[in-house]
Amino acid sequence: MQIIEYTFGEFLITTDKSKLDITAIHDFLSKDSGWSDNIPLEKVKVSMDNSLNFGLFHGEKQIGFARIISDFSTIAYLGDVYVLDDYRGKGLSKEMMDCIMSHPNLQGLRRWILLTSTAEWLYKKYGFQNVPNPEVYMELYNPNVYKNTQKV
């Protein structure tokens, strides 16, 4: 898949996996995200290996991340989106969403999915809306899956 890089001011958004700071990503997801607390490092690595990843950098420091799980034909799931607290309120999440939504391999999809409890306002700008027929959606969810796992 083509690597996309977008530079604006002192910031960079890239899909180049070799530039991503797995330690920083794991640190945020396992300690600060609220949705994947205690996730083992190995789980983060495997999830990234099987996703299209977007890293947000200020200079050499990774300050944000998002990943897409997709068949690149009909559907995409947007997950693990974050920008570090010190960098919020600067329009960086919008820049990252612009890159994601304009990625050439993510065009013409029938459906996008995401779960959020904190940034509904952001995603609505990109056409996301509450599920119109929630009675047709099902899930198998285990919120405690990482509670008893050994930290890696």
Q: What's the pLDDT at 118?
A: 84
**For residue 138, what are its two tokens?**
């099902």
Q: What's the pLDDT at 9?
A: 95
The alpha helices in 16-138, defined as continuous H runs, are 22-31, 41-49, 92-102, 120-124
C-alpha 106/C-alpha 138 separation (Å) is: 24
What fold, for 5-136? Aminopeptidase (3.40.630)
| Closest to 11 (Cα-Cα) out of 120, 89, 92 | 92
Mean pLDDT, residues 40-52 taken together? 98
Is residue 68 a contact partner of residue 77, using CB atoms and an 8 Å limit?
yes
Please say if the pLDDT value at position 149 is more than 80.
Answer: no
Q: Where are the domains of the chain?
A: 5-136
C-alpha 152/C-alpha 150 separation (Å) is: 6
Mean pLDDT, residues 120-130 taken together? 94
Helix-strand-coil split of the chain, %, nearest 5? 30, 25, 45
Please say if the pLDDT value at position 111 is more than 80.
Answer: yes
| 152 band by pLDDT with thresholds 50, 70 and 90 | very low
C-alpha 75/C-alpha 81 separation (Å) is: 18
